[in-house]
Structure 1
């Protein structure tokens, strides 16, 4: 265990050195970082909550994909059946119920028609199915129906194209370093640093830019049109911003020329009126189609249709042969330029709707960075001083390992091009506290073995060996919670989970392997006969508290507190954030603490709906929550935010906008569902791991204790009415991870003592195990509380609820580990198994020869 050959020493040092080197670019200015070798230019990206900017979550209207596929198939079938080498006459096609239905006029040609149509279908990925089913009904009626596999493949293809189209559109705007990524099957996340007014971006991204030229059906009956009825083979199309009952026209469903055949689009001006227009240029195929169509239809009107609405419907006065055209439609210069960008970058194959958005001011981002750095530095200093005072030289080893661990986390994040968010900073601060846990486990075990009479070398070797197993098992459970956050989480939860998971992997390496290397080198150089640690001891040696004796009282207290927490939650409810209830959330920072009643009356006077206000811990900041505008207009939310900002700035001089976010009802419902599912899966997953790793009693007691911890945390938020949002779900999942970490350490010691003291009374054995691990439990809780205390005081108001939840969770988790989980094992009937011959190998057998420690 303490054998470190030279190659292994260099492997450890080089690994940590490379990890630290990858962290360097994140601390350097951009101009210097770009001069480094390319392999070391990767750096950590700052999230919008730190850099300021806009975030949009776009959802595809997937029902449109099926309609587009049917329309394309309709054109293909018409073309195929009209071929001159064997024309097949058919009746009008119906697209009702999302399927194509038409009749073959000559029954003898039905089989030939089917043979021509089947090759138009394609395989739907690896499913073995076709994208359309073709069947004959009633002898001469052919029905072509899209399959589920075909629609799924079409949606996947459409989302891939849509992601690229959006990226091109944002690049055309000249925006710096945007992030465009897929999320799930039908959503796209767009993050644009530095963009404070996303209204133009939303207008650009919300425009499908599906441009079509179709002939106007002049045979349509105006009375039928007013009812939305078009002649067979035609469809009703409205004009832009058309009110109910407004003007519409009928156009042929067949497309003359589409925007797919454009090579360029530019904003220009109409020579006679100087009005903004968009000039377009077709490719050769499009130019030929446009020329043929205009030649054959001189004197007839044709419609320019954009995203299902008529821009204009002029007459074709003469053939248009030059391969170019001009689009007019009451444009402004800005809207004409946006349309030109959309047409140049290509049409979106599916309509996208903004379902969640937020904007953070650069000032708030700068404040968050400053607060996060301050909290991190204070956390490092406080934990480092405490560890050094408690463990001396060994504390120095732990502090060095924690410092390197932070740098390696940054290096790994830079290598992965990950994004650091404000919850990610909280993850860093928490990592500082939890990273020392492994060292505390090791050092307390070394102390314990020294008291048992082992030599220095044996104590260190046995301490690392036994603690390493416990560290691994505890971190597996922590990783389960982190993995669930990463998979089911959204936004801030994912940012926190990334730092947490990377921190779990790197902290095990630095805290165990690296400190063991330092200990080995010291042993070889000094060959000490005793180990001196620091003078500070929170838990005295040989502490022998009778925890089990008062378990019945503890059970009663626990039951009363849990019932009280549940009652409070149902009676008062939770102050759910906009993440969970949907709506618009605006934060405004005032020059001095404002009168809340005046702020409320100012906002309510705008007629935007009933406002819910909350003055945050920083009394100068007020959170304002409003319902979402009851309209499909994409710009409605922006107008709501602008009205609130303008009204408050006029009423309260010096008031400044900090940030806003909107969440649709659909997304908020999903977040509630995913949050509850994440917590439930974490509890079940960790309990199952504990069950399989030990006996079933350990799994049940662990699950009960974790449920207790979660309910107590939720009850705390019901009592205090602090905002309960996604950050708090991340805190609850972290509490679950920490709590099980603590319980795993105690359970592992109980299992070890069950093997060593087979005839010891179970109550005495559990008391012995809890007392043996009590120094580690208290020390770890204290170091994490030091780190969280720095975050609570200096981390800023955004993370205050998260930090409060974590601090409560540490206290509750420590209590449940000692008084609920461990004592419950007796109630569940856990007993040592005399036939259990599983003992740890090597030095573990030496532990049995040493015999039980003096319990008196």
Structure 2
């Protein structure tokens, strides 16, 4: 073996790097132990929310401080140390994962300077609708929608050329296609900048080892936040654009109130005309609210409300507007036009933005609701009332002062006890702010409105000019809210809004259970493989064991250095890698056993066995890496992690089994003179197999045709149990503290969720998965609540009705941190856009994988008979596995959903099956090349017979570890493992009975003879 010195060098380097990687755990643990002690001393507890908050606060405070130094090399902060270690995914640690869609609608409106062109608005609306199911990106969809609606004389250039930023690229004669291309470039810049700023913003969130990735092709940002304990806070942090604006206000006077009265009368007349009625004035009793404002230490009024008292008054105009808006009759601040219930805010804005209604108010009037509701009185009467402010909008439609001028933001308590966000502005911002506050003070303590994301967070009265560029925002913030807002403003406004289209939350208790089951499966699977290798290969089995141990060491070290997040599918990938890593050893050892049986000495048999195995090992593993690479490209989140683990595992197994294994075998033989490659019980196994496999090909074709036909029948008639990944919706895993049947749950939930939910039993006592599409398309708030909160409340209503137990509150039920009582352990949300995208990417991944394998085999084996045989066998395997799932879901006692994990399993089956097939093909090609005078049929039979031991041994070891994964890997991985089990069995069968016979049937005697000079002696290295 040449190059031993180079291999030893790389082995030593890899070991040193890997050991150094693992050594980072020591200083990291020291820091985390300090955090544990700090939190325990502070709270007097070692569990609970207060403890966790204190611990996280300590780690956050030192995250950017040096805590470890390698002499003369580098210093490390705590964040640096964590980045050097293998991070645990949400399904192992708990936390939150979201997929964010970068919303490019606002981008287009900005580029068009908010054009009111009807065709333009219709094209944006159509593109938004098409995005839910189309393959193309939003800009392309917009271009297509415009082309369908625009007339011959309408050009996109007339809309976008008015933007100064585009004027040098878009002229009046620029074609629509060129405009769309330029917009796509600008959109890509916007998406990339949004990603960078969002990543910087997440760094301020205090999450250890967050994972943020950009899918630029689909304008998606994938965010994983392990250990996050406040999902609502994370949602606000991720989706808030932090568009900070400062406006002058227009004081409300009788003219404004009269405009409201006229607006209400106009709307009433319209309503009466639509109903065919005469318009008449009607009196009614209306509730108005008397308000008492608080004063500060100087005795000046503030915008904080001390009390609100409702009272009834007569003679209010009855009409559509006043049914949803109560006008300000002097009961509120001078900038407040009226108040409305949270559920009526959108309707109020639709009325006021009506062109006929807008003409009743000053041209510079703009309306914004307050972000938070008014304080409730003692009876809680006004807890959902929101103030409507009348702002002074400049002629150009933009705020006089924005967050772009803010250079620093922080938070802290005010003298009056309120928490404030403190801002420092640059020189230009300071000048504008001084002018605005001077004008406000000169106008009699008029208010200045501070607007965040189109909502008024504060409207302070200005007693005098504020110079120096420093100011404070107060808006009834909690300490955490003020800190988050300051952090967002410090990073800056996101260039585009982001919308959560997929969300998953996993509780820590479920993560701990997954870790326990995964470690159990890993240890049992590894132990069984080691025991088998010792039994079957004797002394060579010891070498295989050492190679496998090294393989695991290198896999974990490489994954840590790559920053890979280890998930449950990733652990499944490691287990699968163990089974497949044995394959390289088996190929080599079986070849050595063949050489020994023909009478060669051990050194010669080892030399020829290794050299004749290289081609087979390379072909088998290249095809597996090809499939894993496709999975890594098209997959999202945990599936991408599974693919990375598989790629790393395959590369590590080839290095350890082929190169390091050869070093160890040569060392052993040089030291002891020999080595055993069998034991007494395994020596004769598969020694003299002589089966005419091709004689069964017509029978096997018939059996396979029946299996494929039955599978297609179930696929098209019964279909699949589509997971939430593919159909969209909300999915909850609920652990009950008492017995309840699925039917009882279904009946109780049908009403609150406005439809029949999908309910499946999870293989834990009294645990169910509940999936519903209730409000999945809803994005706007409902009665002041987020849609997911409304769905959760409906779920809680149904669950408590089914159990008859109201002892658990809604907050306790919905918290994944809860471990007692009936509670949710995990929740996922998949919007229709991402569901369609996942289905599309799954189909693309399968097609690309099959095409890649076909062309690789076409080039590698220089004959379409091999690639055709392989692809037909892969179609055969895929259809049967899918058919089994279509036939069995619903009556087998575990989850058989078709989701992203199932697609990963299908692609893994393709990779495994082609691995198996290539080994047989490689031997067929070798025999056809070396034994050109022999009968073609006999040559192919001999090739199959000579590789049957490897086929059986590799399948057995792989099935062994996957079976352990199925039995001990936990509920969420059972369907994945079952698909692999079926796929391995079917793949092994197809390699022998489908792929190889097709090669025979597509071969001709002339193809066999056109290779080397006829010889009946095998050519060996």
TM-score, normalisation: structure 2? 0.71
Task: Tell me: CA distance 1:427–1:235, structure 2 relative to 1, closer, same or farther (3 Å).
Answer: farther
Q: What does 1:177-196 correspond to in 2, within 5 Å?
A: 177-184=209-216, 186-196=219-229
Whether the 8 Å contact between 1:256 and 1:289 is mirrored in structure 2 is: yes
SS at match of 2:1007: coil
For residues 685-727 of structure 1, give each alpha carbon's deviation from its aligned partner in whole angstroms, at most 9, with x where no partner exists: 1011112212101111111100010001111111121111111
SS at match of 1:423: helix
Whether the 8 Å contact between 2:913 and 2:984 is mirrored in structure 1 is: yes
For residues 123-170 of structure 1, give each alpha carbon's deviation from its aligned partner in whole angstroms, at most 9, with x where no partner exists: xxxxxxx86413489xxxxx9999445434443443444344434544
Whether the 8 Å contact between 1:228 and 1:236 is mirrored in structure 2 is: no
| Cα separation, 2, equivalents of 1:133 and 1:16 | 54
Aligned pair partner of 2:19 in 14, 18, 21 = 21
Q: What does 1:412-451 correspond to in 2, within 5 Å?
A: 412-451=558-597
Query: CA shift at 1:790, angstroms?
Result: 1.2
Task: Tell me: CA distance 1:541–1:234, structure 2 relative to 1, closer, same or farther (3 Å).
Answer: farther
Whether the 8 Å contact between 2:928 and 2:1008 is mirrored in structure 1 is: no
Query: CA shift at 1:238, angstroms?
Result: 4.2
Whether the 8 Å contact between 2:537 and 2:677 is mirrored in structure 1 is: no
| Cα separation, 1, equivalents of 2:27 and 2:467 | 55
For residues 468-516 of structure 1, give each alpha carbon's deviation from its aligned partner in whole angstroms, at most 9, with x where no partner exists: 1110011110011000011110112101001100011111010100111
For residues 615-657 of structure 1, give each alpha carbon's deviation from its aligned partner in whole angstroms, at most 9, with x where no partner exists: 1233432111111525214732144336536864774683342
Q: Which residue of 2 aligns with 1:655?
A: 822
Whether the 8 Å contact between 1:287 and 1:324 is mirrored in structure 2 is: yes
Does residue 162 in structure 1 map to residue 194 in structure 2? yes
Q: Which residue of 2 aligns with 1:44?
A: 86
Q: Which residue of 2 aligns with 1:205?
A: 238
For residues 324-361 of structure 1, give each alpha carbon's deviation from its aligned partner in whole angstroms, at most 9, with x where no partner exists: 45556676666555444433332222111111111111
| Cα separation, 1, equivalents of 2:363 and 2:158 | 16
SS at match of 2:1018: helix
Whether the 8 Å contact between 1:66 and 1:146 is mirrored in structure 2 is: no
Query: CA shift at 1:227, angstroms?
Result: 0.8
Aligned pair partner of 1:631 in 778, 786, 794 = 778
| Cα separation, 2, equivalents of 1:517 and 1:62 | 57
Task: Tell me: CA distance 1:455–1:833, structure 2 relative to 1, closer, same or farther (3 Å).
Answer: farther
Aligned pair partner of 1:684 in 838, 851, 868 = 851
Whether the 8 Å contact between 1:48 and 1:54 is mirrored in structure 2 is: yes
Q: Which residue of 2 aligns with 1:481?
A: 627
Whether the 8 Å contact between 2:391 and 2:449 is mirrored in structure 1 is: no
Aligned pair partner of 1:564 in 701, 710, 725 = 710
Q: Which residue of 2 aligns with 1:263?
A: 407
Aligned pair partner of 2:870 in 659, 683, 702 = 702
| Cα separation, 2, equivalents of 1:319 and 1:531 | 91
Aligned pair partner of 1:727 in 901, 915, 922 = 901
Deviates more, 1:735-744 or 1:459-468: 459-468
Q: Which residue of 1 aligns with 2:936?
A: 762
Query: CA shift at 1:302, angstroms?
Result: 6.2
SS at match of 2:613: helix
Does residue 792 in structure 1 map to residue 966 in structure 2? yes
Aligned pair partner of 1:779 in 953, 973, 979 = 953
Q: Which residue of 2 aligns with 1:640?
A: 791
Q: Which residue of 2 aligns with 1:283?
A: 426
| Cα separation, 1, equivalents of 2:909 and 2:188 | 37
Query: CA shift at 1:416, angstroms?
Result: 1.5
Aligned pair partner of 2:637 in 468, 491, 509 = 491
Q: What does 1:320-339 correspond to in 2, within 5 Å?
A: 320-321=466-467, 323-325=469-471, 327=473, 335=481, 338-339=484-485
Does residue 251 in structure 1 map to residue 393 in structure 2? yes
Q: Which residue of 2 aligns with 1:716?
A: 884
Q: What does 1:501-520 correspond to in 2, within 5 Å?
A: 501-520=647-666
SS at match of 1:263: strand
Root mean square deviation of aligned Cα: 3.8
Q: What does 1:92-241 correspond to in 2, within 5 Å?
A: 99=159, 121=165, 132-135=169-172, 147-148=179-180, 150-184=182-216, 186-214=219-247, 225-228=352-355, 237-239=367-369
Query: CA shift at 1:559, angstroms?
Result: 0.5
| Cα separation, 2, equivalents of 1:849 and 1:310 | 82
Query: CA shift at 1:519, angstroms?
Result: 1.5
Whether the 8 Å contact between 2:873 and 2:995 is mirrored in structure 1 is: yes
SS at match of 2:732: strand
| Cα separation, 1, equivalents of 2:841 and 2:883 | 20
Whether the 8 Å contact between 1:304 and 1:310 is mirrored in structure 2 is: yes
SS at match of 1:680: helix
| Cα separation, 2, equivalents of 1:791 and 1:276 | 52
Task: Tell me: CA distance 1:48–1:327, structure 2 relative to 1, closer, same or farther (3 Å).
Answer: same
SS at match of 2:224: strand
Does residue 806 in structure 1 map to residue 980 in structure 2? yes
TM-score, normalisation: structure 1? 0.84
Query: CA shift at 1:323, angstroms?
Result: 3.3
| Cα separation, 2, equivalents of 1:98 and 1:665 | 34
SS at match of 1:618: coil
| Cα separation, 2, equivalents of 1:402 and 1:687 | 31
| Cα separation, 2, equivalents of 1:263 and 1:597 | 59
Does residue 582 in structure 1 map to residue 728 in structure 2? yes
| Cα separation, 1, equivalents of 2:942 and 2:591 | 14
Does residue 358 in structure 1 map to residue 529 in structure 2? no
SS at match of 1:811: helix
Query: CA shift at 1:254, angstroms?
Result: 3.6
| Cα separation, 1, equivalents of 2:14 and 2:389 | 70
Gaps (5+ residues) in structure 1? 74-94, 103-116, 123-129, 138-142, 851-856
Q: Which residue of 2 aligns with 1:465?
A: 611
Whether the 8 Å contact between 1:440 and 1:776 is mirrored in structure 2 is: yes
Q: Which residue of 1 aligns with 2:495?
A: 349
| Cα separation, 2, equivalents of 1:646 and 1:423 | 34
Does residue 60 in structure 1 map to residue 102 in structure 2? yes
Does residue 847 in structure 1 map to residue 1018 in structure 2? yes
Whether the 8 Å contact between 1:70 and 1:98 is mirrored in structure 2 is: no
Query: CA shift at 1:205, angstroms?
Result: 2.4
| Cα separation, 1, equivalents of 2:925 and 2:532 | 31
| Cα separation, 1, equivalents of 2:402 and 2:249 | 15
Whether the 8 Å contact between 1:389 and 1:534 is mirrored in structure 2 is: no
Deviates more, 1:830-839 or 1:188-197: 830-839
Query: CA shift at 1:47, angstroms?
Result: 0.9
Task: Tell me: CA distance 1:287–1:413, structure 2 relative to 1, closer, same or farther (3 Å).
Answer: same
Task: Tell me: CA distance 1:302–1:144, structure 2 relative to 1, closer, same or farther (3 Å).
Answer: farther
| Cα separation, 2, equivalents of 1:682 and 1:354 | 30
For residues 251-299 of structure 1, give each alpha carbon's deviation from its aligned partner in whole angstroms, at most 9, with x where no partner exists: 2314311111123445578888x77665544322111123335556854
Aligned pair partner of 1:672 in 839, 851, 854 = 839
SS at match of 1:348: coil
Aligned length: 797
